[in-house]
Amino acid sequence: MIGALILFLVPTLLFVIAFLYETYLSFARLKDPKKGKQQYVSATWEVTHTLLIFAVVMLMMLFTKNIDGISSAIFLSTFIAAFALIVRLICYVYIFYVRKKNKITAVDWVFALSHVVAALFLVVTVVKALWYLYKNNPEVNSQFIPYFIPGLLVVIALCAVPMLTIYTTKK
C-alpha cells in the first residue's frame, strides 16, 4: 500500500506545487498585464498536467478492483475542478492568443480565480480519494509497481529538467 500511495501522492504533490506557482503568476499578472503575459506563458508548461495525469493513472491502475468506488467518491469534486480548468482554458486562450490589448478586464480576474477554484477542488479530490482508500482499504494491484516506480522517476526527471531550466533562466 505504501508503494501505491507514493506513486499517487508524489506526482500529485509536485502538480500542486507547480499549479500553485501558476496560480501565483495568474494573480501577479493582474498588477502588470504587459509583463505578466510573457511571464505566465513562459513559465506554464503542460508539465504540470503530465504530473496530474500520471497521478490519476496511478490511482486507477493500482486500485483497478475499486475504480467504481473511487470514482463515486471523487466524482463531484473532480467535475467541479474540471469545470474550473475548462474556464481557465477558455480565459487563457482569450487572454494570451485572441485579445490584442493588455488591459486587465473581468476575464483576467475570472482566469486568476479559476486557478483557485481548480486548486481547491483538486485538493478536495485528493483528500476524498485518500479517505476512500483509508476507509475501505482496497486491495492494491501491485503487479505493475516494479514498473511504475522507475516510470515515476522518468516522468519526474522529464518534467523537472524543462521546468528547472525555465524557472532558473526566466527573470
Cell (9 digits) for 104 = 486587465
Judging by beta carbons within 10 Å of its beta carbon (0-12, 13-18, 19+), is residue 84 exposed, middle or buried? buried
What pTM, to 2 d.p., does this model score? 0.81
Q: Is the pLDDT of residue 171 over 60?
A: no
Predicted pLDDT of residue 161:
77
Predicted pLDDT of residue 170:
56
The residue type found at 128 is: K
Average pLDDT, the chain: 86
In this structure, of 68-77, 86-95, 99-108, the range with the lowest mean pLDDT score is: 99-108
Cell (9 digits) for 129 = 480519494
| CA–CA gap between residue 36 and residue 94 (Å, rounded) | 15
| CA–CA gap between residue 45 and residue 40 (Å, rounded) | 10
Residue that the C-alpha cell 499578472 belongs to: 29
Give the percent of the chain with pLDDT over 90: 39
Query: What are 8-56's pLDDT values in tens digits?
Result: 998 899 888 888 888 888 898 888 766 666 666 665 666 777 788 888 8
The residue type found at 145 is: I
For residues 115-124, give the mean pLDDT. Answer: 95
| CA–CA gap between residue 35 and residue 104 (Å, rounded) | 12
| CA–CA gap between residue 49 and residue 89 (Å, rounded) | 13
